[in-house]
Amino acid sequence: MKILVTGGAGFIGTNVCEHFAEKGAEIIILDNLSRKGTEKNLRFLKKKIEGLKFIKGSITNWKTVKKIFEKNNFDIVFHLAAQVAVTTSVTDPRSDFEINALGAFNILEGARVTDQSPIMLYSSTNKVYGGMEEVVVEKKDSKHYGYRDYPNGISEKFGLDFHSPYGCSKGTGDQYFIDYARIYGFRTVVFRQSCIYGDHQFGNEDQGWVAHFLISAVNNKPLTIYGDGLQVRDVLYVKDLVNCYEKAIEGIDKVKGQAFNIGGGSDNVISLLEFIDILKDLVGHKIEHQFENWRPGDQRVYISDISRAEKILGWSPSYNVEKGIEKLNEWVKNNKEII
């Protein structure tokens, strides 16, 4: 089984490579190592996976992408490489577009022009549903917003409403992956991911807030909360996401051309202020934090309705918030020298 993982040295990519290499797959990574921390992930993977092939290059470069597909016949392609921060997409929308929209298109085209039909997985985002201004959000208690009318979260039936350059560029990839299944019979699946966290995540203020908060707390660094801290997300431990990808591959004939909302679901929801309380207990000291204005495109609540994935893929999260954060904390503790 030959697998291409774009963005394979990133957080989710590293977990994907590790998992599928353990199953005996031959892995090729295409990554330009633009994200901080990726060279550390790559070092980890090279040690762990015998025969790992790494290509340093950009998904925006059509010649590079085409050559990779001409030289290899892939069974599976994980398209994970992306510009991942909403903030950066606002300050530099052109490169965001080139990486996320053109990059996704290049990967699909790589398969199409070389007449291959690998299973192709795309990591999309909940941001494709936009700011959801019409959804009524209410304060559930002093630390937590919630939906008034969506107790199980947002399902795939919710209308697309790309918001922010990142929402637009990732949403473009999302729609192209679905359309290549319709027009060219490709076996694509789209995962509209909520907040994913876990080992090998070098989170920062712009992306990967769970890891960013935990790493800052361990290092006794003050945190900035954009908004009032009552904002709520469903969070999913990365190993559960990888299991979900695997279920989709196994059931590809049932799911090709479809999009799934993936996250921790309504059972794994946490607000920023609640997370700060957990962190206080975890690290044993007060977590210094200050507040700034809301950032564009930030939803007050986002909770994925994962019931379709549960029903069709026979998947559900196996790590609850406490167990997942404990795992991430273990990874942070064991990797202090590289973080």
- Check binding of 171 to ligand NAD (CB under 6 A): no
Asked if 82 is part of the footprint of ligand NAD (rule: CB under 6 A), the reply reads yes
Question: Which CB sits closer to ligand NAD, 8 or 146?
Answer: 8
- Look up tokens 């800052």; give the residue: 216
CA-to-CA distance for 178 and 195, rounded, in angstroms?
22
Q: Show the tokens assigned to 180.
A: 């290549």
Q: Are strands 144-147 and 137-141 parallel, antiparallel or unpaired?
A: antiparallel
244 binds ligand NAD (CB under 6 A): no
Q: Provide the minimum distance between the beta carbon of 162 and ligand NAD in the complex, in angstroms, as a whole number.
A: 14
- Residue 34 binds ligand NAD, judged by CB under 6 A: yes
Could you tell me where the DSSP H helices lie in the chain? Answer: 11-22, 38-48, 62-71, 86-91, 93-97, 103-113, 164-184, 209-218, 238-250, 252-255, 272-283, 307-313, 321-334
Q: Scanning residues 93 to 152, which ones bind ligand NAD (CB under 6 A)?
A: 99, 103, 123, 125
Query: Which has the closest alpha carbon to 263: 228, 309, 221?
Result: 309
| CA-based nearest residue to 156, from 331, 290, 311 | 311
Binding mask 188-217 for ligand NAD (x = CB under 6 A): -----x-xx-----------x---------
Of 2, 19, 33, 72, the residue at the interface with ligand NAD (CB under 6 A) is 33
> Quick one: 59 or 303, whose CB is closer to ligand NAD?
59
- Of 26-34, 154-162, 247-255, 304-312, the segment contacting ligand NAD by CB under 6 A is 26-34
Answer yes or no whether residue 324 interacts with ligand NAD by CB under 6 A: no
Q: Which residue is nearest to ligand NAD (CB)?
A: 10
Annotated catalytic residue 166: yes
Interaction between residue 32 and ligand NAD (CB under 6 A): yes
Q: Closest separation between CB of residue 230 and ligand NAD, Å? A: 20
- For 287-305, give one letter per residue: b (16+ CB within 10 A) or e: bebeeeeeeebbbbbbbbb
Sign of CA dihedral 88, 93, 94, 98: positive
Is there binding between residue 11 and ligand NAD (CB under 6 A)?
Answer: yes
53's enclosing H/E stretch is strand 53-56
Stretch that binds ligand NAD, among 77-85, 129-137, 274-282, 330-338 (CB under 6 A): 77-85
Q: Under the criterion CB under 6 A, does residue 60 sit at the interface with ligand NAD? A: yes
46 phi, psi to nearest 5 deg: -65, -35
- Residue from 81, 86, 211, 313 binding ligand NAD (CB under 6 A): 81
> What is the distance, to the nearest Å, from the Cα of residue 287 to the centroid of all Cα atoms in its chain?
26
Catalytic residue among 122, 150, 166, 302: 166
Q: Do residues 25 and 1 make contact, with C-beta atoms less than 8 angstroms apart?
A: yes
Complex with ligand NAD: residue 163 or 170, whichever CB lies closer: 170
- Please list the active-site residues: 166
Tell me which residues touch ligand NAD (CB under 6 A): 7, 9-13, 30-35, 38, 58-60, 80-84, 99, 103, 123, 125, 170, 193, 195-196, 208
